[in-house]
Every structure is written in structure tokens, then in C-alpha cells.
Structure 1
Amino acid sequence: MSSGRLYYVMGPSGAGKDSVLGWVREHGISHGVLCAHRYITRPAHAGGENHVALSEAEFQSRERRGLFVLTWQAHGLHYGIGREVEQWLLRGADVLVNGSRGAYELACERFPAIRPVLITASQECMARRLAARGRESDIDIAARLARSESYRVPPHALVIRNDGYLADAGARLLSAIQRNSMEQEVALPER
């Protein structure tokens, strides 16, 4: 059995990463794709992604015990990806991780065969989505949009535009993963 591949999903706030990952979570299991949950020091009922909510103390305890393969901080919160991801990859599953652009280099060190995925959308679309979720002020939204403009797309990144129908963006991501998996199988040496 060949190892799976880690797809590191990132993108600016309002691009719809959580929505695209949610769509793939519902439709991708039949294709062998697993979506890792993030462990976040944010209450479960705070809206947004399906995550595992941890208190600050519980997060720190898990981190000290080496239960995360990746951790980072952003927007006053702690984020982590559990070590279970390593086992899923060893067992041949392709795994999607909702990562941070700031933690991408560390992820590359830990997973050399990583495939970056950038979910993006137009500035107008992201501004509407950020305003609709009601978590940021107009000043915060403007700062997030400005930050998204300065982001450099990693080499070899799969770019998914999420301006239209969610199912279209999700299907494009699944299709790219399937194509990549087939290419990996063809490239495997015979034993």
C-alpha cells in the first residue's frame, strides 16, 4: 500500500476554506479523502468550521505531550493538527488539513511530500462573506483583505477559486486530488 498525500489547504479569511472543506468532508470519503479536524482554543458554538474546541490549559497539556503534529497561533487563538494524521497517511489516505499560511513552512518540514492548496475568491466576495459572519469590524475586514493581497502563492500550489457555487469549488478540489492520486499510482515502481 502506498502512503497517502497531505493537502495543506490555506487561503485568506472569507475565501470559503471551511465551506469547501465541509463539502469535501461530505462528498470525499468515497474517494478515500479524509479531512483532519483542527484543535482550537475557540468555543465549539463560535461558528465557522467543524473543530475540536479546547481550553487553553487542555491545548497546552496536549502540546506538551506531543499530541500535535503542527501548532500555530493566530488571531489570539491556538490551533493544532493531531498526530492521527500521520497514521492516516501511512494507511494510504489522502488527507486535507485546514492550515495557516504562517505555518506552511513548518508543515513542509514535517511533510516533505506536501501539496499546497490555495482557496481564494475575489476581494468583493470575501468582503461580503466576512461582513456576513459578523465577527470582525469594518476595520478588521479591511485589514484582512489587505493582507490577502500581499500573500504569495506557494510554488506548485493547486489554486481553487471559490466565487461561485460551493459544489463547483469542492468538486474541483476532489477532482484534482483524484488526478494526483492516479499520477502517483502510475509513477510507483513495480515490485
Structure 2
Amino acid sequence: MANPTDHDKTKSGTLFLFVGPSGSGKGPLLRRFRETYETDERFHFPNRVITRAVHMPDETHIHATIEAFANAEEGGAFSLHWHTHGHRYGIPGHTLIELQNGKHVMINVSRTMVEQAREFGFPVRIFHIETPLDTSFKKLKARGRESEEEIAQRLKRHDLPYPDEGDILRIEIDGESEEAFEQANVVVQEILQEP
């Protein structure tokens, strides 16, 4: 794959990162964007590769065994990849090609991947989703994927400090919020209107 730092910056798309603690609502917010823009040729929504099986009808990730995922990691198949909460997550490498070709890419990633994503050299905007701890717990429990002990392990990282920087929009969600989409979409529309 070509070095992502060799791209034409005047042509490249923006990389939108949806980050936040487990149960914050970043997944539903990203799905709302996907529903709105998936048929718009200016956008690309890559499916993550995860070693967790698909449990819910609206989940769009690609399931991989641990062995298959490890082979993909070693082969350089991912642009970003991380291990957390007993699972492995990967963003397909073709994501960088889509950005090079001028498409705006939206992905749900770990907060630990932000600095690495910035190093690609593409314009980056970050939607940091925040929600009260008890709301996160209720959302995680409602998903029915994990035991309360596993949920408790996830929520240990709920209040991980996060810096205030110019490319970050903090969005507070308490329950399902159309307002969160509207806040984030203002940023998206501003970028779409740039010459």
C-alpha cells in the first residue's frame, strides 16, 4: 500500500473518528450518520473487523477468528488495529485509499488510536461522545452481550481523561439523542461546504 503521507492533501477526504467510553452511544450515532450519508458517494463507512461474533441485527462488523485476525495483523491488512475488553478490532487498510481518493470516512475507534490516526496526515475531526456512567451501564446491560462483571470491567475506562483540542467536538448524550446528531452534523456540513 502507498505511504499515506504521500497523498494529495488538496484532494483527500476527512477522517471522522467516533470515540468515547463503552455504552456512550457512539455506535448508534455513527449508525445515524450511516443512514443519512451511506448513499452519498462522498462518504465511506468501512466495516470493522472484530473477533466478537455478531449478536444484534444492526451490527455491521465483520467477524474474524483470533487466528485469522492475527494473520491479518501480521500481513498489514489493517490501517488501525487494537486489542481491548478481550477482543481485537481492526479497520481495513483500504480506508486510507478511500481517503486518498477524496472520500470522507467515518469510523468508531478506541480513544487510544486517535494519535496514530492523526499521523496518517489526513484532515481529522473527532466526535468524543460522553454520557453519564449509569446511562452507559444501562445501555451495555440492554445489549445483552456481556455479564455484569464484564460490563464493570468496560466501565473502568469510562472516565479516561481526554484532552481538549481543536479537532475534537465533545457531545453529551443521556439516552438516545437526535440533538447529538445535529451537533455533529454541523461539523460535517461545514466540511462539505469547503471549496
Aligned with 2:158: secondary structure?
helix
Verify: 1:23 aligned to 2:32, yes or no: yes
Q: For structure 1, which segment, 110-119 or 21-30, has the greater mean C-alpha deviation from structure 2 after superposition?
A: 110-119
**Which residue does 2:3 correspond to in 1?**
none
Structure 1 pair 96–128 and aligned structure 2 pair: CA distance change class (3 A): same
Instruction: Quote the Cα distance in structure 2 between the aligned partners of 1:31 and 1:166.
Output: 26
Instruction: Quote the Cα distance in structure 2 between the aligned partners of 1:48 and 1:13.
Output: 17
**Which residue does 2:125 correspond to in 1?**
115
Aligned with 2:157: secondary structure?
helix
Structure 1 pair 16–64 and aligned structure 2 pair: CA distance change class (3 A): same
Q: What is the TM-score normalised by the length of structure 1?
A: 0.83
**Which residue does 2:73 correspond to in 1?**
63
Superposed, 1:30-69 pairs within 5 Å as 30=40, 32-45=42-55, 49-69=59-79
Instruction: Quote the Cα distance in structure 1 between the aligned partners of 2:58 and 2:161.
Output: 22
Verify: 1:178 aligned to 2:180, yes or no: no
Q: What is the TM-score normalised by the length of structure 2?
A: 0.81
Instruction: Let me know the Cα RMSD of the aligned residues.
Output: 2.4
Tell me the matched-pair count. 184
Structure 1 pair 141–154 and aligned structure 2 pair: CA distance change class (3 A): farther
Give 5+ residue unaligned stretches, structure 1. 186-191
Give identity over the alignment, percent.
33
Aligned residues of 1:9 and 1:116 also touching (Cα < 8 A): yes
Aligned with 1:173: secondary structure?
helix
Q: Report the alpha carbon displacement of residue 181 of structure 1 after superposing the two structures with TM.
A: 3.3
Question: What do the CA deviations read for 1:22-63 (whole angstroms, capped 9, x no partner)?
Answer: 111111233833222111111123677410111112112222
Q: For structure 1, which segment, 146-155 or 115-124, has the greater mean C-alpha deviation from structure 2 after superposition?
A: 146-155
More helix per residue: 1
Instruction: Quote the Cα distance in structure 2 between the aligned partners of 1:15 and 1:31.
Output: 29
Instruction: Quote the Cα distance in structure 2 between the aligned partners of 1:102 and 1:20.
Output: 20
**Which residue does 1:81 correspond to in 2?**
91
Q: For structure 1, which segment, 86-95 or 165-174, has the greater mean C-alpha deviation from structure 2 after superposition?
A: 165-174
